[in-house]
Amino acid sequence: MKLEITIDLEGADDEAIRDILRPLIPELAKRLLDSGFSAQPATRAQSRRPPKPNQWMSSSDVAEYMGCHTLTVLRLLRSKQMVGYQSGPKASWRINRDDVEKYIRGEGMKKKRAR
């Protein structure tokens, strides 16, 4: 099945866009269901597999996992509110998934993890 839709929305306000798209949604959902696709949009949790226990993650992976911005994770690491490691002052951070889970549960830093 191939579906192409081209709509020029330049200069249109939100209400005009809704008026254009509203009649298309039921037909599109019906065609997707008929062809075997799910009409449910993938959520963030569905689109990415959760990391395995004891897996090392980058700061961007942690940010996506926690649902926050990468700069927030970097701030937590620099302020030592979350455990992470760098091989040098400008190297990327590596954070263990178990430490992320502890932070989320509110356990904080009790001791440094052995490398």
User: Each residue of 44-77: pLDDT tens digit?
Assistant: 444 456 666 668 999 999 999 888 999 999 999 9
Please check whether residue 98 is in contact with residue 53, taking contact to mean a CB–CB distance below 8 angstroms. yes
pLDDT at 102 (0 to 100): 87
> Regarding the domain delimited by 46-105, which CATH topology (the fold level of the hierarchy) does it fall under?
Multidrug-efflux Transporter Regulator; Chain: A; Domain 2 (1.10.1660)
**pTM (predicted TM-score):** 0.50
Q: Check whether 26 has a pLDDT greater than 50.
A: yes
Gap between the Cα atoms of 112 and 31, Å rounded: 54
Within the chain, which residue ranges are assigned CATH 1.10.1660?
46-105
pLDDT the model gives residue 111: 54
Closest CA to 56 of 26, 16, 84, 27: 84
Distance in angstroms (rounded) separating the CA atoms of residues 115 and 98: 13
pLDDT at residue 14 is higher than 60: yes
Please report how the helices 70-78 and 59-66 are oriented relative to each other, as an axis angle in degrees rounded to 10: 110
